[in-house]
């Protein structure tokens, strides 16, 4: 049984991962920025007959992270695994992407996990063991049109995880990057907001609508987001832990295409895939 701290558990992959790990008997500390939004998690845990402790943690606030880590240590005495799951997305053509918006995405998706790693690694080094799991994306390898900000953030956290893995291996600490494809989660509801935010006078407006149609369809095709939670849990329980997991496995070709496909061809494939 491992003590696991997970970020971003109010919805989506974080919620499902918390339930999956709790069901398997792990001691789960499911964190979220606003604990008033823990109702869905608690209902899912009750349905599964499992238990987890809800912890307030805002990955953009170092003081919040320190407080959450102290809370877990006071209750459990150690943190064996941290799952960096909290994340945000945005859809925008690069030309219209505000610097402040890109900074907002990086603040949560890159700097947030880095802050969490800074908080837990000294504890893991002292214990001589530990496991960092980063929930990235297949977008870390191929950047879909109009999702440059999100893809850039996932590229960054994947790269940090790769470097970190080699750095901390001598201390008995493992790093796994889990790269999901698009799945049907609560994020599908945000597609409507993204459509509403499109400026009809933008030269990209029509193709941005088309891209969102294709993206929503892809999420609805992968209608079993629990597969990502299972993949994270399996990685945590594996000995040795895997370096990378792609979910669904069928999306592995996307990751492989990054190095095997000429860039001109890869760009053409992406444009066709998203109808733009």
DSSP 218-272: HHHHS--THHHHHHHHHHHH-SSPPSEEEESGGGHHHHHHHHHS-HHHHHHHHHH
Q: Which of 150, 183, 204, 274 is catalytic?
A: 150
Buried b / exposed e along 41-58 (16+ C-beta atoms within 10 A): beebbeeeebebbbbbbb
204 is an active site residue: no
User: How much is the pTM?
Assistant: 0.91
Q: Report the C-alpha gap between 212 and 105 in whole angstroms.
A: 19
Domain boundaries, the chain: 3-187+224-259
- In degrees rounded to 5, what are phi and psi of residue 176? -125, 130
**Helix-helix angle 99-106:148-168, to 10 degrees:** 40
d(CA 27, CA 18): 10
| pLDDT of amino acid 265 | 75
In this structure, the strands spanning 3-6 and 130-135 are unpaired
Strand (E) positions, 15-123?
Answer: 27-32, 53-56, 81-84
- One CATH from 1.10.10.2840, 1.10.540.10, 2.60.40.10, 3.40.50.720 for 3-187+224-259: 3.40.50.720
* pLDDT tens for the chain, residues 1 to 276: 999 999 999 999 999 999 999 999 999 999 999 999 999 999 999 999 999 999 999 999 999 999 999 999 999 999 999 999 999 988 899 999 999 999 999 999 999 999 999 999 999 999 999 999 999 999 898 888 898 999 999 999 999 999 999 999 999 999 999 999 877 666 666 676 777 778 888 898 888 888 888 777 777 776 688 999 999 999 999 999 999 999 987 777 777 767 677 777 767 777 777 767
Whole-angstrom distance, CA of residue 222 vs CA of residue 109: 23
**Residue appearing with tokens 């696991």:** 4
Separation of alpha carbons 146 and 150, rounded Å:
9
Of 87, 250, 82, 63, residue with least CA distance to 153: 87
DSSP 142-166: S--TTBHHHHHHHHHHHHHHHHHHH
Let me know: does 136 contact 110? Beta carbons within 8 Å: no
User: How distant, in Å, are the alpha carbons of 76, 98, 144 from that of 91?
Assistant: 40, 12, 10
Query: Could you give the 3-state DSSP secondary structure of residue 273?
Result: helix
Residue that has been written with the tokens 């943190």 in this structure: 79
């Amino acid at each position: 049984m491992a003590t696991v701290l997970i970020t971003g558990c109010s919805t989506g992959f974080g919620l499902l991962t918390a339930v999956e790990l709790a069901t398997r008997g792990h001691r789960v500390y499911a964190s979220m920025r606003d604990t008033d939004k823990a109702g869905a998690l608690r209902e899912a845990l009750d349905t599964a007959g499992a238990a987890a402790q809800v912890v307030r943690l805002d990955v953009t606030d170092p003081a919040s992270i320190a407080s959450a880590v102290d809370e877990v240590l006071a209750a459990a005495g150690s943190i064996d695994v941290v799952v960096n799951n909290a994340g945000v997305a945005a859809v925008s053509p690069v030309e219209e992407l505000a610097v402040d918006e890109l900074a907002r995405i990086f603040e949560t998706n890159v700097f947030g996990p880095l802050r969490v790693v800074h908080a837990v690694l000294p504890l893991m080094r002292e214990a001589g063991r530990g496991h960092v799991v980063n929930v990235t994306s297949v977008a870390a390898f191929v950047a879909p049109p109009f999702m440059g900000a999100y893809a850039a953030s996932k590229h960054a956290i994947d790269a940090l995880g790769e470097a970190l893995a080699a750095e901390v291996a001598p201390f008995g600490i493992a790093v796994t990057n889990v790269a999901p494809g698009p799945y049907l989660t609560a994020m599908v509801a945000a597609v409507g907001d993204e459509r509403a935010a499109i400026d009809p006078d933008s030269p990209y407006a029509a193709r941005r609508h088309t891209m969102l149609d294709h993206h929503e369809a892809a999420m609805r095709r992968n209608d079993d987001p629990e597969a990502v939670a299972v993949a994270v849990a399996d990685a945590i329980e594996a000995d040795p832990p895997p370096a990378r997991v792609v979910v669904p496995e069928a999306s592995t070709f996307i990751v492989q295409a990054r190095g095997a496909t000429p860039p001109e061809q890869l760009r053409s494939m992406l444009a066709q895939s998203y109808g733009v």
